[in-house]
Amino acid sequence: MRIGTGYDVHRLVENRPLILGGVKIEHPLGLLGHSDADVLIHAIMDALLGALALGDIGKHFPDTEKAYKDCDSLLLLKKVGELVNEKNYVINNIDSTIIAQEPKLEPHMKVMVENIERTLNLSENRVSVKATTEEGLGFTGSQQGIAANAVVSLVKGELIK
């Protein structure tokens, strides 16, 4: 069994789409970044890479690389999932939290989970996405940015049923 953690933050700005967990969410502000800035997916990718001690997403997908400009982070997650399998590990479970003051994310959670399950070929009940505010405090509270963290566990070889 191996455990990994991931954390990411992106700045909220005007004239950018808000994409979280592969879901485009209607909101006056979106996340700034080289890719689609999907902060949740980035945290999960970093947790998967961390579990394997393979560095971070900056190392695997540099933001100087034109190919990753505005790219769909789910495509990058798919590559990281393949890397996990190449190392003869499978994903046991993923738990994650999005930290955002607004918008309300509950209506989008189910689709986020389904996007992650589909991208990583995972069965039900292995992916958890939660959301919290920080009660108006700090940079998430003032809506300067959105943060996400994730924890994953990997097991060698076959999935635990």
Residue from 6, 12, 19, 42 that binds Mg ion (CB under 5 A)? 42
Distance CA 46, CA 54 (A): 9
Shortest Å, Cβ 31 to Mg ion: 8
Shortest Å, Cβ 77 to Mg ion: 12
The position carrying tokens 């909101």 is: 27
Does residue 126 touch Mg ion according to CB under 5 A? no
Does residue 36 touch Mg ion according to CB under 5 A? no
Buried b (16+ CB within 10 A) or exposed e, 114-134: ebbbebbebeeebbebebeee
Shortest Å, Cβ 42 to Mg ion: 4
Shortest Å, Cβ 20 to Mg ion: 12
Does residue 38 touch Mg ion according to CB under 5 A? no
The position carrying tokens 């001690």 is: 53
Q: Calculate the CA dihedral of residues 35, 41, 44, 45 and round it to 10 degrees.
A: -30
Q: Among the candidate windows 8-16, 20-28, 59-67, 99-107, which touches Mg ion by CB under 5 A?
A: 8-16
Handedness of CA 85, 86, 88, 89 (dihedral sign): negative
What residue number has its CB nearest to Mg ion? 42
In the bound state with Mg ion, the residue whose beta carbon lies nearer, of 8 and 108, is 8
Please name the residue ranges forming H helices in 10-108. Answer: 39-51, 57-60, 73-86
Pull the structure tokens for residue 38. 């999907």
Q: Among the candidate windows 3-11, 63-71, 115-123, 128-136, which touches Mg ion by CB under 5 A?
A: 3-11
Q: List residues near Mg ion by CB under 5 A.
A: 8, 42
